[in-house]
Amino acid sequence: MSLFIASLNSGSNGNCYYVGNQHEAVLIDAGISCRETERRMNRLGLSLRKVKAIFITHEHSDHINGVAMLAKRYQLPVYITTPTLQNGGLKIQEHLVYSFRAFEPIIIGSLEITGFPKEHDACDPHSFVVTDNNIRVGIFTDIGLPCRNVTNHFSQCHAAFLEANYDEEMLETGKYPYHLKNRIRGGKGHLSNKQALQLFLKHKPAFMSHLFLSHLSRENNRPELVRDLFTKKAGRTEIIVASRYEETRVYHIRNLSRLGYNVKSSVVDMKMQLSLF
């Protein structure tokens, strides 16, 4: 078994991540419009017919902007906690709203999706791990600090979307007002490049094949800066920077830990994509 993953968009202008197998898939957050989600998935050769549910991390607009329309058009269940639903002001058809509890897996086909609390300035924020036949993909963004929940789950993942929001020097010397700088770096905002790198180096399992650096700040970070920082120390883990302007490619995640080594999985070639999706 294997999982196919992609970032459809990642940043303060919208977040949406695809995780699926040959038969079913889920979206983690829906922060870009329904139309743009459709366009990006079409370009990747992915079908929304295989998407069976949307999971929402928290109520900030860059994570929920497209969820109501996407859920309505495709009649997709939306897994969201009650506080997040209430504070997000979302108008989702009642029959499509499903609540979930931390650490209790939701089963969708052969996928198992588990949410867990994290540190962020939202009412009830969660991150998620998606598992299929012991292959685990984690989505760890909008994190103020790497709490035990985050590090424990990260250490079990074959691939992960990990926030690397800002360069500390760029934030300090940048144009943001002081109160906003403190919100970002204050423990319930976002992870810096250095914090993300420390988490990666300390808790990365030997079998992690792919790391997507995610939710980069437009004003306080640069893709080449954080890519270089991680690539120098990534070993066999492939580093991908998730863009705030376009989708990534689809990546094929397999469980290679049984073989005793880690090999970078290649990008799914177009013929294989079309046959699977």
pLDDT more than 70, % of the chain: 92
Confidence of residue 255 (pLDDT cuts 50, 70, 90): confident
86-113, pLDDT tens digit by residue? 999 999 999 999 999 999 999 999 999 9
Helix (H, G, I), strand (E, B) or coil at 132: strand
- Angstrom distance (rounded) from CA 237 to CA 224: 17
Check residue 222 and give its pLDDT. Answer: 98
- 239, 213 contact by CB (below 8 A): yes
26-67, pLDDT tens digit by residue? 999 999 999 999 999 999 999 999 999 999 999 999 999 999
Say if residue 263's pLDDT is above 60.
no
Check residue 270 and give its pLDDT. Answer: 39
Average pLDDT over all residues of the chain: 93
- Angstrom distance (rounded) from CA 200 to CA 180: 26
199-253, pLDDT tens digit by residue? 999 999 999 999 999 999 999 999 999 999 999 999 999 999 999 999 999 999 9
CA distances (Å), origin 259, targets 106, 207, 248: 29, 10, 28
Check residue 257 and give its pLDDT. Answer: 60
What is the mean predicted confidence (pLDDT) over 245-269?
A: 69
Domains of the chain: 2-276 (3.60.15.10)
